[in-house]
Amino acid sequence: MDNLIQTIAVYALPVIFAITLHEAAHGYVARYFGDMTAFVAGRVTLNPLKHIDPIGTIAVPLAILAVSKLAGGPALLFGWAKPVPVAFGNLRHPKRDMIWVAAAGPGTNLLQAILWAIFYSALHAMDVGEEFFYNVAVAGVQVNLVLMALNLLPIPPLDGGRIAVGLLPTRLAIQWAKIEPYGMFILIALMLTNTLGFFLSPFLRFGSAIVSLFAS
């Protein structure tokens, strides 16, 4: 139990930052490109309470974390926040601007991973002896890289699916967008068949390579 509590303490701050800035970034970029939906709904904010989903952000991650730790395995996290509402039709150039709105979330997570890695290096440079802070920094890198990679999967309604719809020719984009009602079922199937890691690995390697340029 103590080990579980320690793990929660280590991951709590990185997870809150990761989901809050991810969702807020969608709202900020959507507003920049002309859609005020998220702003009117009060979601263009850094207040985490506006983005936390009681089930997806708290209950499900805690349950998965508890089961993984009680089973003696590594800490596992999976969850979601309240999606920021975006009316893509309100964007000045919907098909093009959709790409930037969708990419803002994973991009913010990559930036956070870099900042957590720099924080780790700064702790080392200052010869800080408290292991907890190093663990939080490592968790910050891990959480943000995984969240970035997961959201870059080209499966609607994930951000990568939105990006794919924006990049594909119109006819193919329309067909690809029709996958959205089944997107979460596809994601769950990948998890249950233990193939999700295979599809995440290219994005994780990319993110790790970028992070390594800024800190060891």
Q: Which residue numbers are catalytic?
A: 23
User: Is residue 136 within 8 Å of residue 13, measured between CB atoms?
Assistant: yes
Cα separation, 102 vs 157, whole angstroms = 10
Of residues 149, 177, 174, 145, the one with CA closest to residue 162: 177
**Cα separation of 197 and 201, whole Å?**
6
According to DSSP, residue 197 is labeled H
Cβ(25)–Cβ(54) under 8 Å? Answer: no
Could you give the CA distance from residue 119 to residue 13 in angstroms, rounded to a whole number?
14
How many CB atoms lie under 10 A from the CB of residue 2?
6
Give the C-alpha separation, 67 to 204, whole Å: 24
By CB neighbour count within 10 A (0-12 exposed, 13-18 middle, 19+ buried), where does 111 fall?
A: middle
